[in-house]
Amino acid sequence: MADIRPKTVIYTASGKWESGMLVNSAAGSFTDILTDMPESSGGTDMGPRPLDYILTSLIGCAGGTLSVLAKRSGFEYTGFTGEAQGILDLGGFLGVPGVSKHFTSVSAIFIVETDESKERVKEICSLVEEKCPVLNLLADAGVKLEIEWKIADLEGA
Protein backbone atom coordinates (compact mmCIF):
# COMPACT_ATOMS: atom_id res chain seq x y z
CA MET A 1 0.00 0.00 0.00
CA ALA A 2 1.28 3.46 -0.89
CA ASP A 3 2.44 5.78 1.85
CA ILE A 4 -0.04 8.68 1.81
CA ARG A 5 1.19 10.51 4.90
CA PRO A 6 1.97 14.18 4.39
CA LYS A 7 5.57 14.88 3.53
CA THR A 8 6.99 18.22 4.58
CA VAL A 9 9.74 19.93 2.60
CA ILE A 10 11.58 22.92 4.00
CA TYR A 11 12.76 25.64 1.61
CA THR A 12 15.35 28.20 2.68
CA ALA A 13 16.57 31.50 1.32
CA SER A 14 18.83 34.29 2.51
CA GLY A 15 19.55 37.76 1.24
CA LYS A 16 21.80 40.74 1.79
CA TRP A 17 21.13 44.35 0.91
CA GLU A 18 23.77 45.66 -1.48
CA SER A 19 22.68 49.26 -2.10
CA GLY A 20 19.59 51.26 -2.96
CA MET A 21 16.94 48.65 -3.74
CA LEU A 22 19.41 45.96 -4.82
CA VAL A 23 19.35 42.76 -2.76
CA ASN A 24 21.57 39.74 -3.46
CA SER A 25 19.90 36.52 -2.35
CA ALA A 26 20.56 32.81 -2.29
CA ALA A 27 18.15 29.88 -2.37
CA GLY A 28 19.31 26.33 -1.85
CA SER A 29 22.59 25.97 -3.73
CA PHE A 30 21.92 28.94 -6.02
CA THR A 31 23.64 32.24 -5.26
CA ASP A 32 23.63 35.73 -6.70
CA ILE A 33 19.89 35.91 -7.21
CA LEU A 34 19.47 39.65 -7.64
CA THR A 35 16.33 41.69 -7.09
CA ASP A 36 16.16 45.38 -7.85
CA MET A 37 13.82 48.00 -9.20
CA PRO A 38 14.01 50.07 -12.38
CA GLU A 39 15.86 53.38 -12.22
CA SER A 40 12.51 55.16 -12.62
CA SER A 41 11.46 53.63 -9.27
CA GLY A 42 14.68 54.46 -7.44
CA GLY A 43 16.58 51.27 -8.21
CA THR A 44 19.59 50.57 -10.39
CA ASP A 45 17.92 48.05 -12.73
CA MET A 46 20.54 45.39 -11.88
CA GLY A 47 17.98 42.59 -11.60
CA PRO A 48 14.32 41.70 -11.92
CA ARG A 49 11.77 43.19 -9.56
CA PRO A 50 10.71 40.85 -6.73
CA LEU A 51 7.23 40.44 -8.22
CA ASP A 52 8.79 39.42 -11.56
CA TYR A 53 10.08 36.37 -9.71
CA ILE A 54 6.53 35.52 -8.64
CA LEU A 55 5.51 35.36 -12.30
CA THR A 56 8.56 33.34 -13.36
CA SER A 57 7.97 31.06 -10.37
CA LEU A 58 4.42 30.45 -11.58
CA ILE A 59 5.67 29.47 -15.04
CA GLY A 60 8.45 27.30 -13.61
CA CYS A 61 6.16 25.62 -11.11
CA ALA A 62 3.49 24.89 -13.73
CA GLY A 63 6.15 23.41 -16.02
CA GLY A 64 7.64 21.33 -13.21
CA THR A 65 4.24 20.14 -12.05
CA LEU A 66 3.37 19.18 -15.63
CA SER A 67 6.58 17.16 -15.84
CA VAL A 68 5.85 15.21 -12.64
CA LEU A 69 2.21 14.54 -13.53
CA ALA A 70 3.03 13.61 -17.14
CA LYS A 71 5.56 11.05 -15.97
CA ARG A 72 3.06 9.53 -13.51
CA SER A 73 0.26 9.30 -16.07
CA GLY A 74 2.19 8.47 -19.24
CA PHE A 75 1.29 11.81 -20.82
CA GLU A 76 3.74 12.48 -23.68
CA TYR A 77 4.86 16.00 -24.53
CA THR A 78 7.89 17.55 -26.18
CA GLY A 79 7.73 21.14 -25.00
CA PHE A 80 6.21 23.64 -22.62
CA THR A 81 6.27 27.43 -22.67
CA GLY A 82 4.53 30.05 -20.61
CA GLU A 83 3.89 33.76 -20.37
CA ALA A 84 2.42 35.53 -17.36
CA GLN A 85 1.29 39.02 -16.45
CA GLY A 86 0.42 40.38 -13.02
CA ILE A 87 -1.53 43.53 -12.21
CA LEU A 88 -0.58 45.49 -9.11
CA ASP A 89 -2.36 48.60 -7.85
CA LEU A 90 0.39 50.70 -6.25
CA GLY A 91 -2.25 52.35 -4.08
CA GLY A 92 -1.97 49.44 -1.64
CA PHE A 93 1.78 49.99 -1.25
CA LEU A 94 1.18 53.72 -0.85
CA GLY A 95 -1.31 53.14 1.97
CA VAL A 96 -4.66 53.63 0.27
CA PRO A 97 -7.20 51.84 2.51
CA GLY A 98 -8.88 48.79 1.01
CA VAL A 99 -6.37 48.40 -1.83
CA SER A 100 -4.48 45.11 -2.02
CA LYS A 101 -0.73 45.27 -1.52
CA HIS A 102 -0.10 42.35 -3.85
CA PHE A 103 -1.16 41.36 -7.35
CA THR A 104 -4.90 41.78 -7.82
CA SER A 105 -4.87 39.52 -10.86
CA VAL A 106 -2.50 37.25 -12.73
CA SER A 107 -3.06 35.92 -16.22
CA ALA A 108 -0.98 33.21 -17.81
CA ILE A 109 -0.87 31.33 -21.08
CA PHE A 110 0.77 27.92 -21.04
CA ILE A 111 1.49 26.13 -24.31
CA VAL A 112 2.12 22.39 -24.42
CA GLU A 113 3.70 20.68 -27.42
CA THR A 114 2.05 17.29 -27.65
CA ASP A 115 0.31 14.80 -29.91
CA GLU A 116 -2.00 13.76 -27.07
CA SER A 117 -5.76 14.17 -27.52
CA LYS A 118 -7.44 17.42 -26.53
CA GLU A 119 -9.25 15.52 -23.79
CA ARG A 120 -5.98 14.22 -22.28
CA VAL A 121 -4.45 17.70 -22.49
CA LYS A 122 -7.48 19.15 -20.71
CA GLU A 123 -7.21 16.49 -17.99
CA ILE A 124 -3.50 17.01 -17.33
CA CYS A 125 -3.82 20.81 -17.40
CA SER A 126 -6.64 20.63 -14.87
CA LEU A 127 -4.44 18.48 -12.63
CA VAL A 128 -1.54 20.92 -12.97
CA GLU A 129 -3.80 23.76 -11.82
CA GLU A 130 -5.02 21.63 -8.91
CA LYS A 131 -1.50 20.62 -7.79
CA CYS A 132 0.82 23.55 -8.66
CA PRO A 133 1.98 25.09 -5.35
CA VAL A 134 2.67 28.58 -6.73
CA LEU A 135 -0.66 28.76 -8.54
CA ASN A 136 -2.42 27.66 -5.36
CA LEU A 137 -0.46 30.16 -3.25
CA LEU A 138 -1.72 32.96 -5.50
CA ALA A 139 -5.28 31.62 -5.45
CA ASP A 140 -5.26 31.29 -1.65
CA ALA A 141 -4.07 34.93 -1.42
CA GLY A 142 -7.21 35.97 -3.29
CA VAL A 143 -5.46 36.83 -6.55
CA LYS A 144 -7.84 36.62 -9.52
CA LEU A 145 -6.32 34.01 -11.85
CA GLU A 146 -6.89 33.68 -15.57
CA ILE A 147 -5.05 30.60 -16.78
CA GLU A 148 -5.24 29.55 -20.42
CA TRP A 149 -3.78 26.34 -21.81
CA LYS A 150 -3.04 25.83 -25.49
CA ILE A 151 -1.71 23.02 -27.61
CA ALA A 152 1.19 24.15 -29.78
CA ASP A 153 0.67 24.09 -33.52
CA LEU A 154 3.56 21.77 -34.35
CA GLU A 155 2.78 21.80 -38.06
CA GLY A 156 3.25 25.57 -38.25
CA ALA A 157 6.58 25.49 -36.41
pLDDT tens, residue by residue, 70-124: 999 999 999 999 999 999 999 999 999 999 999 999 999 999 999 999 999 999 9
CATH number at residue 94: 3.30.300.20
Within a domain: residue 142? Answer: yes
Within a domain: residue 29? Answer: yes
Give the span between the Cα atoms of 114 and 78, in whole angstroms: 6
* Residue 1 pLDDT greater than 80, yes or no: no
Within a domain: residue 93? Answer: yes
Residue 143 is part of which domain span?
A: 49-151
Number of domains in the chain: 2
Within a domain: residue 39? Answer: yes
Provide the 10 A C-beta neighbour count for residue 121: 17
Same domain, 35 and 77: no
Cβ distance 113 to 82 under 8 Å? no
Give the span between the Cα atoms of 145 and 108, in whole angstroms: 8
Same domain, 94 and 126: yes
Same domain, 91 and 143: yes
Look at residue 99 and give its three-state secondary structure: coil
Strand order in the sheet with 22-27: 13-19, 22-27, 30-35
Same domain, 66 and 123: yes
Query: What pLDDT, in 10s, does the model give residues 36-82?
Result: 999 999 999 999 999 999 999 999 999 999 999 999 999 999 999 99
Same domain, 137 and 106: yes
Within a domain: residue 1? Answer: no
Give mean pLDDT, residues 11-26.
97
Same domain, 111 and 146: yes
**pLDDT-derived band at 6, boundaries 50, 70, 90:** confident
Q: What is the pLDDT of residue 157?
A: 47
Same domain, 53 and 80: yes
Same domain, 19 and 58: no
Within a domain: residue 4? Answer: no
Within a domain: residue 111? Answer: yes
Same domain, 39 and 54: no
Whether the pTM exceeds 0.85: the reply is: yes
Sign of CA dihedral 49, 55, 59, 60: positive
Q: Which residues contact 152 (CB under 8 A, 6 or more apart)?
A: 79, 81, 111, 112, 113, 114
| Side chain identity at residue 119, one-letter code | E
Q: Using CB atoms within 10 Å of the CB of residue 65, give its burial: 0 to 12 exposed, 13 to 18 middle, 19+ buried.
A: buried
Same domain, 135 and 76: yes
